[in-house]
Amino acid sequence: MGLPLVNQFLAQGYALVRILSALKIKSSTYYNWRHWQPSRQEKRRESLKPYILDVWKTFKFYGYRRIAAYSHLNNDCPKISEYMTLKLMRELGIRSRMQKRYRKPKTVVTVDQKPNLIRHLHDLSGVWQTDITYIQLTNHRWVYLATILDPEKRKVLGYKIGDTMTAELTKLIDFDRQEFQKFINTFGIDHAKETVTKRRVHIAQSLRDAYSEGIIERDPTIRIKTIGLDGKSEELKFLELDQLKKIENFSFKNLYKSDAFLAMFIAIHTGMRFGEIAALRLNNVNFEQKTISIEKSMDMFHNEREPKTKSSIRTIKVDEKLLSVLKNLRLNQTELIIKSNNQLVGRYLRDTIKELNIKQVTFHALRHSHASYLISRGVAIQYVSERLGHADVSITQQVYSHLLNSLRVKEESKAISLLDDI
């Protein structure tokens, strides 16, 4: 504290010796202080302060750990340890504005909980979700918010707030026949009629159960009319042979860039569903008998489960080209062959289609294209149905009726020409 006073007294004309004597300061101490230069470490600390302050102003919720991590991830920034960041933030008088995580009170459940059925669904277009959430008001009072959610559109369809969690809280919407028809009409504006029908059936099943249990007074599912857009044209459900060959060749050349290309390649050569491909392991492949056993399916939440139907559990023959690709994979027998999810594979497929300049189709179209190619080459419809894992051959006939009709015309012409020779 006395060292700065020395310069003040010197400015007033006092002798340095008398000043140091009066303040009881050694001359060596004074000269060390006068000629002091900051060390290399201190210079670095001062240079780091503006950087830390700048990061904190940009990300005010960052604490010392995140700021230190940010410095290591950003190549243009100086690298700072967590301890140094903490000390400099204290010197600057700044700290993270992140509030402590709120821990809501636990609910004591005395009854068995219903199983989560949604996690096993591939398609959420026919599903509604319900949720009850704690909300703390500004006066620290708690209320309960019950909601009905549409997970596909991520919209709240109905809600109700209550002070207590009772059965009345869960009666969200006075859902009568007019409301149901209004919902179907709105949903049908931008959805195919087939999709609207699926959703109507799913909701109707729940509403009938609610009616039978006495939760609602009337059955709102009677005489509901289904409207919707025309479905995809047959051309968008499968690829022509030249287009299929282009994707097959492109995916083969890029197999080791991403397993998404391998998923496309497998779909083209086997006609398997994506969920079946995602659950495939090398121990499902019999290289001697040249077969693949399809026993499991992966859902959208990456949960392994039984396939879509009993007939989906099947063993199919595969070609040498696919077998050689699978044989060269450096994987354990029980390791999943495809680790990318449906969305990522779909994105790679869209990019591939764009680069090859062919029509846009979904991943499922590769399965349709596989079947269409076999049928167009005269392979029996019964075998194609078994290969695809359809529950009944009538499903295959319905899906590929456009091809069967064209084959039927050819067969009719062949039959007439044979009869003319009699």
Q: pLDDT tens track of the chain, all 422 residues? A: 567 777 788 888 888 888 888 888 888 887 887 777 778 888 888 888 888 888 888 887 788 888 888 888 877 778 888 888 888 888 888 887 766 665 665 666 666 766 776 666 666 666 777 777 877 776 667 788 877 777 776 777 667 777 777 766 666 455 678 878 887 888 788 778 878 888 788 778 877 887 787 767 778 888 888 888 776 555 556 788 888 899 999 999 998 888 999 999 999 999 999 999 999 999 999 999 999 999 988 877 677 888 767 888 999 999 999 999 998 887 788 889 998 888 889 899 999 999 999 888 889 889 988 888 888 888 888 898 899 888 887 777 777 665 555 566 666 676 767 666 76
CA distances to 43, 162, 239, 312, 415 from 382, in Å: 81, 58, 22, 14, 21
Pair of tokens at residue 195:
């999709």
In the block, tokens 């049908």 appear at: 188
Which pLDDT does position 70 carry in this prediction? 84
Quick one: how far is CA 116 from the chain centroid?
18
In DSSP notation, 101-154 reads PP-PPPPPP-SPPPP--GGG-S--TT--EEEEEEEE-TTS-EEEEEEEEETTTT
Q: How far, in Å, CA of 80 to CA of 45, rounded?
A: 10
User: Which of 173-176's residues contact partners 24+ apart within 8 Å by CB, and which partners?
Assistant: 173/148, 175/207, 175/216, 175/220, 176/218, 176/220
- d(CA 292, CA 277) in angstroms, rounded, equals 11
Q: What is the CA radius of gyration of the chain?
A: 36
Nearest-angstrom CA–CA distance, 308 and 366? 18
List the one residue out of 279, 193, 237, 198 whose CA is nearest residue 363: 237
**Residue 172 three-state SS:** coil
Please give the model's pTM, rounded to 2 decimal places. 0.53
Q: Which of 393, 277, 377, 294 has its CA nearest to residue 337?
A: 277
> 3-state SS of the chain: helix, strand, coil percent to 5?
50, 10, 40
CA atoms of 158 and 180, how far apart (whole Å): 13
